[in-house]
Amino acid sequence: MIFANSHAFAEEQDAADTLASFSNEFFFPTDEKGNTLVYFCGNSLGLQPKTAGKYLQSELDDWQKWGVKGHFHGKKPWFHYHKFLTDNTAELVGALPHEVVVMNQLTVNLHLLMASFYRPDEERYKIIMEAGAFPSDMYAVQSQVEFHGFDYDDAVIELKPRDGEHTLHTEDIIAAIEEHADKLALVLLSGVQYYTGQYFNIPAITEAAHKAGVPAGFDLAHAVGNIALKLNEWNVDFAAWCSYKYLNSGPGNVSGVFINERHALNPETPRLSGWWGYREDKRFLMQRGYEPEPGAAGWQLSNAPVFGMAVHAASLDIFHRAGMHNLSEKSKKLTGYLDFILKDCRNQNPNIRFSIITPDNERGCQISLLTDENGKKLFDHLTKQGILADWREPNVIRMAPVPLYNSFTDVWKLGQALLGFKISW
């Protein structure tokens, strides 16, 4: 596609966008004068679906009407509330329904999954992960290796970009797996790296891990709802994600997990168990001896946080109607337009100095700008112009044109704000 930095071009693309109407299904923040802001922060916190209140109110109504009987009565009985999210979740990540479950929060689920898949011994105890991973990963991994009696600096192999570069090469990740194969116990990487926006080659990394005889797991917090995933087809062992970024389910809301069926359907797969993961048909017999519910549901600990899940259900229904394939196709065009606008404005305005550190052939809808000493001033300028992006220390601006609710006109407006940036000496 040949892009143009013009309002007419952006409006033409929006008129042809079959997903454009979905933006009407979300609430957008406004400034103190009531003006709607351009929102490029979906990679940090997604917007609220307008249906979220209705979904939540439905559960409040059932609580009011049924009290404790709501666990087995009402429109969506709470006893198996997670099942109302299963099909849409499986569709979203390319899984079979029994391979996914919505429960807990992200870091809790990472710990539960590592309890199952990080099983170190004296010979094989090392974990490969990317350097500068999001703290959800860093701190969880640190505590896991130390819990097993190992030293972080010895047990964790942090993969760093080549000198002078900002992102990892797939061949370097695979080479590291091969180099350390005899000591490895786990490969755990992001799906999309939160800082650079790089989308890792999940199938190639998974294949390399399996050749080394170890499981491959992924933190998909910045990938789910952003890129089209095929976790079952790619033979991934496990994954976890949050729901409040691209999945638009509210701050701190529930997490999802994927556990490949070869593990999930095996009752001998080790795990930290809880009451709600016990066999559903025998759960209220309160018997000794854990018998897991088949599939990923056998990793549940506690009964469902229904109110949070209700909001999550509202968002998942929107994704189901939009279709992840359709969203992915729009994302490529919309992010490509953002890339074009950023570079065009940089060429026109000498006050703008940045480099794009997100690989154009390995990205979802996030683009990360590495700025100079005036980067924070540029970010503050955009904020004053009604453009909400995301600042990450020390000098990166992250922008995410989300295909569910962002438009080509939003991107054009960003460009106009960039062209108006001046440095005060």
Q: What CATH number is given to the structural domain containing 197? A: 3.40.640.10
Q: Decide if pLDDT at 69 tops 60.
A: yes
Q: What are phi and psi of 183, to 5 degrees?
A: -110, -10
Q: Decide if pLDDT at 425 tops 60.
A: no
Q: Decide if pLDDT at 365 tops 60.
A: yes
What's the confidence (pLDDT) of residue 72? 95
Does any domain span residue 256? Answer: yes
Does any domain span residue 392? Answer: yes
Contact by Cβ (8 Å): 220, 84: no
3-state SS class at 223: coil
SS (H, E, C) 251-276: CCCCEEEEECHHHHCCCCCCCCCCHH
pLDDT in tens, 264-287: 999 999 999 999 999 999 999 999
Boundary residue ending a domain (278, 293, 322):
322
33-56 as b/e: b if 16+ CB within 10 A:
eeeebbbbbbbbbbbbbebbeebb
pLDDT in tens, 388-399: 999 999 999 999
Domain that holds residue 347: 7-36+324-419
Measure Cα distances from 385 to 30, 35, 115 in Å: 12, 11, 47
pLDDT in tens, 369-408: 999 999 999 999 999 999 999 999 999 999 999 999 999 9
pLDDT in tens, 194-219: 999 999 999 999 999 999 999 999 99
Together in a domain, 262 and 336: no
Average pLDDT over residues 231-254: 98
Average pLDDT over residues 353-379: 96
Helix, strand, coil share (%) of the chain residues, nearest 5: 45, 15, 40
Residue at 398: amino acid letter:
R
| Number of domains making up the chain | 2
Residue found under tokens 């990540």: 93
**What contacts 73, CB < 8 A, 6 or more positions away?**
62, 66
Report the distance separating Cα 222 and Cα 257, nearest Å.
14
Output the DSSP codes for 84-124: HHHHHHHHHHT--GGGEEEES-HHHHHHHHHHHH----SSS
Report the distance separating Cα 47 and Cα 240, nearest Å.
21
Together in a domain, 289 and 399: no
Does any domain span residue 49? Answer: no
Q: Which two tokens stand for residue 54?
A: 């209705």
Together in a domain, 124 and 73: yes
Boundary residue ending a domain (267, 296, 322):
322
Q: Which two tokens stand for residue 104?
A: 């807990």
Together in a domain, 153 and 72: yes
Does any domain span residue 291? Answer: yes
Query: How far out from the chain centre does Cα 322 lie?
Result: 18
Report the distance separating Cα 88 and Cα 316, nearest Å.
6
What's the confidence (pLDDT) of residue 136? 84
Residue count of the chain, please give it: 425
Residues of the chain above pLDDT 90, percent: 98
Together in a domain, 238 and 380: no
Q: What are phi and psi of 170, to 5 degrees?
A: -55, -40
Q: Decide if pLDDT at 424 tops 90.
A: no
Query: How far out from the chain centre does Cα 338 lie?
Result: 20
Q: Which two tokens stand for residue 299?
A: 């990793």
